[in-house]
Amino acid sequence: MAAVAVLAGTLIWVVAGTLEAPIVNAGDKAPSFNLTTDRGRSISPTNFGGKLLVLNFWASWCPPCIQEEPSLQAFQRAYASRGVVVVGVSADRIDKNYHEFLDRFQIGFDTWRDPEAEVGLAARYGTFQFPETYVIDTSGHVVIKIPDPQDFTDPDFTARIEKNL
């Protein structure tokens, strides 16, 4: 009887361990994905023109996302010609809210809507709180992870980007 209890406990432990959401950190290989942005550009961790990829997860209903948006756009304008691609991934379920956000802020970088964030791209990265940003190098590795709102024009942040160009 004790052996059955030990086996059952082990089985529960193994199954529970497989149910944990992945958490991607700096140094990890970026989870694979292939998406086509609203502008028709194909993006994957290894196919973004040999540039540094800034993958920003956001939602229109997220106050910190709204707060960081102007600096992300300023960053994109400053670094687009320097080998940086910015892609915004929205967790918005309602298409209208997503498009109103894009119009409101006149987003100048590629975006994609991931309404199934629980099982979609955000879940593969372990992103359940927004905003969250990953900087992925040309080999497909996460070199910077930002789990909080970011001022993308902050000199400390841009210095970190410069090191990876």
18-61 tens-digit pLDDT: 445 578 888 899 888 888 888 888 887 777 667 899 999 999 99
What structural domains does the chain harbor? 23-164 (3.40.30.10)
3-class secondary structure for 8-52?
HHHHHHHHHHHCCCCCCCCCCECCCCCEECCCCCEEECCECCCCE
Q: Identify the band that residue 5 occupies on the pLDDT scale cut at 50, 70 and 90.
A: very low
8 A C-beta contact, residue 165 and residue 85:
no
The angle subtended at Cα 145 by Cα 27 and Cα 102, nearest 5°, is: 140
86-131 tens-digit pLDDT: 999 999 999 999 999 999 999 999 999 988 776 578 888 888 889 9
Q: Identify the band that residue 139 occupies on the pLDDT scale cut at 50, 70 and 90.
A: confident
